Amino acid sequence: MSTEITPVLVVGGSLVGLSTALFLALHEVPCVLVEPHLASHPHPRAVGFTTRTLELLHLVGIELPAIPAGFSLKRARVESLAGTWHEESAWTPKAQPMTEDSPFRGAAIAQDKLEPILRDEAKRRGADIRLGTELVRFEQDDDGVTAHLRDKSGRVYMMRASYMVACDGNKSPVREALGIPRKGPGPLETMRSVLFKAPLESYLEKGVHQFEIDQPDLQAFLTTYGDGRWVLMFKDDLERDEAALRLAINKAIGKDDIPIEIMTSGRWDLTALVATRFSQGRVFLAGDAAHTLPPTRGGYGANTGIHDAHNLAWKLKEVLSGTSEPSLLDTYDAERRPAAWTRLEQTFVRPDYAKRARGFADGVAILDEAGIELGQLYRTLATDPALPEAKRPDEWRGEPGTRAPHVKLEDGSSTLDWFGRGWVLVAANDAWRAKPGVVVVHAPENVREAFGLTSTGAALIRPDGYIAWRKDAP
Ligand SMILES: Cc1cc2nc3c(=O)[nH]c(=O)nc-3n(C[C@H](O)[C@H](O)[C@H](O)COP(=O)(O)OP(=O)(O)OC[C@H]3O[C@@H](n4cnc5c(N)ncnc54)[C@H](O)[C@@H]3O)c2cc1C
């Protein structure tokens, strides 16, 4: 049997696998991605994509339609859409409004619409995407990973990769094969859902997009994918035939004369678990394989996974090209596992989930939403162990370990436009000289201030836009 060779094998072609392929392509690292399904799952899950995700997708030329300024995702408890509306509830009690921390706001796009965009762009950039192909098993040694792949014709062939990234979802066969345990509240419940089309846009006019349906014989959650499709999620695991689904949809709407097209139904395991290691040898876990975070209004699940992919891709590039020692790859677990764990805790410290895992987040303080999204600290780079795990981005002043801040430049562009492809030195004066592989940019006054630079200082920014170090003079 002949063996193909690739620097990186990506297992799983959903949001996180495709993002991994894209960010590897951005750094000109060839990869092969395998995914058993021939297309995206017809029942979308994620719909909310956050500011940081949009910053990262912008790097690979993907611009998603922005949500309107001032939009906040509102949820209300209702009898039905047409019936009595009870109270609205906030995701973060007493949340402060987001500041102007990014040129981007979030986007609402259904997972089955976003995946083809990512797939097409990854292919266009040269990623070898193999749909209809699954990983059957793998072995690893000191020099690489040998994967046994089965294509849609049933043919099994071998692929030798220097590294493998497992983006194979909550049940991750790769994580299971590695025997990596997970920690957290665990599987919470199994839910059923039905996806349908109906002309219900008028019920969105008050700005509420998520509805807790509260009737004595119907406890469910109703939300829209913003494209005429809606999903009704049942808080039980009952099998319903089409007539029962239609009846439940009508009850949730509060009317039975609205034309409804049932598209598909689903069964979900609502799970809250984080792997105890995000890598083993030459294999990395990303996305739900590493952390399964239950759906929230902060949209942590897919977004956190896309951020993992971005964190890992440039490190693989540095190590594969011989620019960095393989130990750089250890920082993937050291940075991304705490980030995922914080998001798990932040899910359970908020009212939506607090009751579901009593005791789990006891003593955890609620962090600011903007802080979780843009202000999490990587302790691998931090010089002061006393710094908190997250702060609002406008409260940081360029401390190493934080995301390099967005500052609007005179020509209307952003400091973020400087970062994302390689190493960048943001220097306060001309005394700083470029080293090979580092681009030097000169910081105007407002940038110096946001980066906490003295008049002779500089900050070195990693290819993922995080501040690696800051010095007062050359
Ligand atoms: C109801 C619901 C709503 C959600 N809403 C949001 C939201 O608004 N925002 C958000 O950020 N997140 C949301 N999430 C979470 C989000 O959907 C997941 O976090 C996201 O899909 C994880 O992506 P992934 O690529 O890591 O894994 P998955 O999407 O689970 O994909 C794993 C892939 O691996 C493939 N695979 C498995 N085994 C193999 C194998 N042996 N070989 C090759 N491939 C394999 C599978 O076929 C699959 O395509 C929601 C989740 C649910 C359930």
In the chain, the amino acid numbered 62 is: I
Q: Answer yes or no: do 280 and 169 share one domain.
A: yes
> Which is the closest atom of ligand 1 to the Cα of 233?
1
Q: Give the closest residue (by CA) to ligand 1 atom 2.
A: 45
Same domain, 392 and 335: no
* Spatial separation of the C-alpha atoms in residues 233 and 208, rounded to whole Å: 17
Which of 301, 326, 348 is at the close of a domain?
348
What is the arithmetic mean of pLDDT over 416-444? Answer: 94
**In the prediction, which pLDDT does 126 show?**
98
Sign of CA dihedral 159, 161, 167, 170: positive
User: Both 288 and 391 in a single domain?
Assistant: no
Query: Tens digit of pLDDT for each residue in 38-76?
Result: 999 999 999 999 999 999 999 999 999 888 777 777 899
Same domain as 322, residue 427: no
Ligand 1 atom at shortest distance from the alpha carbon of 288:
26
User: 209 lies in a domain?
Assistant: no
Nearest-CA neighbor of 193 among 169, 227, 220, 162? 220
pLDDT of 40 reads 93
Pick the residue whose CA is nearest to atom 29 on ligand 1.
Answer: 14
- Looking at residue 55, its pLDDT comes to 97
Residue entry with tokens 């008049």: 455
- 434 and 322 in one domain? no
Interval 165-191 mean pLDDT: 97
| Residue percentage of the chain with pLDDT more than 90 | 91
Task: Say what the pTM is.
Answer: 0.97
Considering the domain boundaries, does residue 464 fall inside one? yes
Pairing mode, strands 31-35 and 128-131: parallel
Q: Residue 94 — pLDDT band, cuts 50, 70, 90?
A: confident
CA-to-CA distance for 256 and 216, rounded, in angstroms?
18
Asked whether residue 394 is assigned to any structural domain, the reply reads yes
- The domain total for the chain is 2
Residue 197 lies in a domain: no
Res. 373: pLDDT tops 80: yes
Q: Could you tell me the CATH number of the domain that includes residue 306?
A: 3.50.50.60
Least confident piece of the model among 21-25, 87-91, 185-189, 466-470: 87-91
439 bridge partner residues: 424
- CA 140/CA 144 separation, integer angstroms: 6
pLDDT at 310: 98
Query: Confidence band (pLDDT; 50, 70, 90) for 274?
Result: very high
Q: Is the same domain home to 171 and 311?
A: yes
> Above 70 in pLDDT, residue 420?
yes
The residue to mutate among 14, 149, 269, 308, having the most atoms of ligand 1 within 8 angstroms of its beta carbon, is 14
* Mean pLDDT to the nearest integer, 201-230: 95
CA–CA gap between residue 101 and residue 55 (Å, rounded): 11
Residues facing residue 8 across a β-bridge: 31, 163
Residues 133, 27 within the same domain: yes
**Rounded mean pLDDT of 447-474?**
96
pLDDT digits (tens, 9 = 90+) for 282-318: 999 999 999 999 999 889 999 999 999 999 999 999 9
Pocket probe mutation, ligand 1, options 168, 231, 293, max atoms within 8 Å of Cβ: 168
Same-domain status, 330 and 392: no
Q: Same domain for 56 and 111?
A: yes
Shared domain for 51 and 149, answered yes or no, is yes
Calpha distance 160→42 (Å, rounded): 32
Distance CA 433, CA 440 (A): 7
Q: Give me the chain's average pLDDT, please.
A: 95
Residues with a known catalytic role? 203
- Tell me how far CA of residue 233 lies from CA of 196, 222, 224, 349, 464, in angstroms: 11, 6, 11, 23, 37
Pocket of ligand 1 (CB under 6 A): 11-17, 34-37, 45-48, 111, 134-135, 167-170, 173, 268, 287-288, 295, 299-303, 305
Answer yes or no: do 283 and 135 share one domain: yes
Tell which residue, 30, 29, 28, 26, has the closest CA to residue 59: 26
Looking at the predicted structure, is the pLDDT value of residue 90 above 70? yes
pLDDT in the model for residue 241: 96
pLDDT of residue 434: 81
What domain range is 467 assigned to? 384-471
Number of Cβ within 10 Å of residue 222's Cβ equals 21
Q: What is the pLDDT of residue 433?
A: 86
pLDDT at 98: 67
Distance 15 CA to ligand 1 centre (A): 7
Q: Are 447 and 341 in the same domain?
A: no
